Chain A
Amino acid sequence: MSVIGNTALEFTDDQAMVMDVARSFCAGRSPLERVRGLLESDLGYDPAVWGEMVDMGWPGMALPEEVGGSGLGVSAAVPVCEAMGRSLLGGPLLATLLAGQLLLRASAGGAGSAVLEAIAAGAPATIALLDGADWGSEQIRCELGSDGILHGVKQQVMEAAAAEWLVVVAQEQGKPVLAVVPAAAIAPEARRDHVLIDATRRAQAVDFSGIQVAGDAVLRGPEVVRALRDVRLLGALLLAAEAGGSAASCLDTTVEYLKTRTQFGKLIGSYQALKHPCVEILMALDATRSFVYHAATVVSDAPLDEDAEIACRMAKAQATETLKYAGDRAVQFHGGMGFTWDCDAQLYVRRAQWVQQAFGDAQHHRKRLARLLLDR
């Protein structure tokens, strides 16, 4: 067997339709001056735009019809995240999609379906996943006691302020469980707003200590273990799609500048020292989109198989490196302008630093890929 393995890449009519709608919606609702307008706002997104996304059914697009979703599967969310990334459109969609996937995949017996229905109807949700800074750690510190009370602080809970439901990853006598907590159960003083390097998004550290979780709001069993593994991979995939979108508009921004800025009597885009890195970014971007849509082809509602794991990890490893490079060069190639807050390059270079870490950086994924590809 070749290490190249599965190379399926298909794009359905459903995905194509979603992509068309998402690209024009995001471009229309999120021009860069509106992105900038939200950078220093509390919420970080425009509730009216979120309302339109709910009206289009996006929070439930990957959920089955039985809970009120569109049943398009998680592959349909890929072009949406890519389009959002392209327009740097923030908000709770990505966190909500992932929380929905986690609950869906963990609830074999239908537990959690009331929350899934709420999500499909447009209630923002999120996952409280990280205990520390190590995305690769399987250790869960947050604990669910035998009395049904949570103990522990979760870090970098994506869009926690917006979420109506928080899916808390905890351990109960060493075994992973999911505790579904309504936002109202968390006291304001238990929340601390993070200051993120990517100012288009929001996150909080949340202290869940002392919160009593109702018995039917806890999910347990082997499905939880599998669902956690899968949702880490799907998180990597959706963020790869988003990063790919951001890298594309970042490259456009840089190229546009190189076509208009003159120095020493020449358009600076004519210099090969600037031209060739742009070509490298374009080629990395082409690789990113290929990996992302290959991964979108091989994931499904079923537990992810090894091909899907390989595909999601490669997509994230590639996308992360691409946006890092595109953002880094965008600043440099804008010269003195690039050093300013007003230059759009800062939006991309700052996003790149956040997204490279979220759901594992490139080295993390390559380390896992090495096990999958070289140790068999």
Chain B
Amino acid sequence: MSQVSDREKAEFRQQVGAWMQANRPADPGFLLPQSFMEVGSEQQLDFLREWQHKVWSAGYLGMAWPRQYGGQGQDPVYQSIADQEMRRHGVPICFNVIGLGWAGPLINDIGTEAEKARYLKGILSGEDIWCQGFSEPDHGSDLGSAQLRARREGDEYVLNGTKIWTTMGNFAKYMILLARTNPQVERKYDGLSFFLAPMQVPGIDPRPIRKLTGEYGFTETFFTDARIPASCLMGEEGQGWKIAMRTLQYERGAEAGAAGGLAFVRIAIDDMIAELADVERDGEPALQDPAVRDHVVQMIMEEKAVVLCDRRAAIQALTTDYPFSLPLSNKLRFTESTRRMRQMAINLQGADGGLYVGDTAARQGGFWQRAYLNSFSATIGGGTSQVQANIIAEHILGLPK
């Protein structure tokens, strides 16, 4: 439980809110990424790196991390408040998400002193970009089957194989890497190990993947006899699966150990309604068209349902039928609703809906078109909606496999 008084929290909220208000960057003149998975150019990277550094320097990032490693050593509730204020003021993301939300908290939790001293500060300052090497081309949703081989040779491990969907793989200095050190085990999970691997070594070749948006953000990362120091192994050989699963818990925010900062810019239904205020259809404002109105109200209800389901999930007496239904369906509900809303925003633009990023007449620079295309990263990544539906059907409703 937090020991911070309500008055202290309110004062801090006001202070951080004022800072965000005063320091919110001006429109850079190019489209900024809405999530850390969309950093596709040096221009975007430089901008976001500068912003994260500024937030950290002001003391609003890594607030609950130890002081000697660049943090503030404060109660995590402060970071939660800072995150809420960042969201409320619509500031850019803190882009180094794999470092801030995955690698950093993990190192804080179970890393050695040497690892903490070496890695944590660079994560917060934005100097050291981190990426994640879990998924492989042949094992999209099935991490336990990872095949990238790490073979011990003296003081080194020799890496061979391929990782895919490596976010910012072409910019990253380090990777959290799940690799197979022992192919001869009974349970496939027991042969996996976890590494804090350097990216700038011979034999590691991150090739940017061009997304359906036309932009970049991920790489396919090839490892060919790449040698990394044996000291990069985290924990012991064979503990990889356990450690990888542990990293997932930090997604729950500052209270769970994450450094904080926004990982993505939330696009709300209000943004779409505001965007449509001057759009016409059949010579009338689109928002006066009965069919459009009906559709918009349905989308408002979808978004509101996400919030209300979250509220209800906290009330045990109202979740007795299928106790895990709400937490397990949250991703499916949220990501599908988001995708539909962005699609609708394009539908309603009339001829402008056919324009794209790069056309000077595109509404908001093609923001909605790009946002819709990017929304598939959430309905596919982290388990496709169809796999999610199978999981819910089998684990919640008890339907057969």
**Which A residues fall within an 8 A CB radius of B?**
2-5, 7-11, 15-16, 19, 248, 251, 255, 258-259, 266-267, 269-270, 272, 275-276, 278-279, 282-283, 286-287, 289-291, 293-294, 314, 317-318, 363, 366-367, 369-370, 373-374
Contact = CB atoms under 8 A, between A and B. Distances in A.
Nearest to A1: B270
A258 B329 CA distance: 21
A282 B294 contact: no
A9 B311 contact: yes
A255 to B, nearest CB: 5
B326 A286 contact: yes
Contact of B393 (A275, A294, A317): A275
Nearest to A365: B297
Given A11-B318, A290-B305, A374-B293, A4 B300 contact: yes
Given A278-B397, A282-B392, A289 B304 contact: no
B158 to A, nearest CB: 42
Interface in B239-284: 268-270, 273
Given A4-B304, A278-B393, A363-B294, A289 B400 contact: no
A270 B301 contact: no
Interface of B: 268-270, 273, 287, 290, 293-294, 296-298, 300-301, 303-305, 307-309, 311-312, 315, 317-318, 321-322, 325-326, 329, 332-333, 386, 389-390, 392-393, 396-401
Nearest to A13: B317
A337 B322 CA distance: 27
Instruction: List the 8 closest pairs (A to B, CB-CB), nearest first.
Output: A290-B308, A370-B293, A9-B311, A287-B305, A269-B399, A275-B393, A366-B297, A270-B400
28 contacts: A2-B270, A4-B268, A5-B304, A7-B308, A9-B311, A10-B315, A15-B317, A19-B317, A248-B321, A267-B400, A275-B390, A276-B386, A276-B389, A278-B393, A279-B329, A279-B332, A283-B392, A286-B305, A286-B325, A286-B326, A287-B301, A289-B318, A290-B308, A290-B311, A290-B312, A291-B304, A366-B293, A366-B294
Nearest to A15: B317
Contacts of A10: 315
B20 to A, nearest CB: 18
Contacts of A287: 301, 305, 308-309, 333
B289 to A, nearest CB: 10
Contacts of B269: 3-4
B130 to A, nearest CB: 34
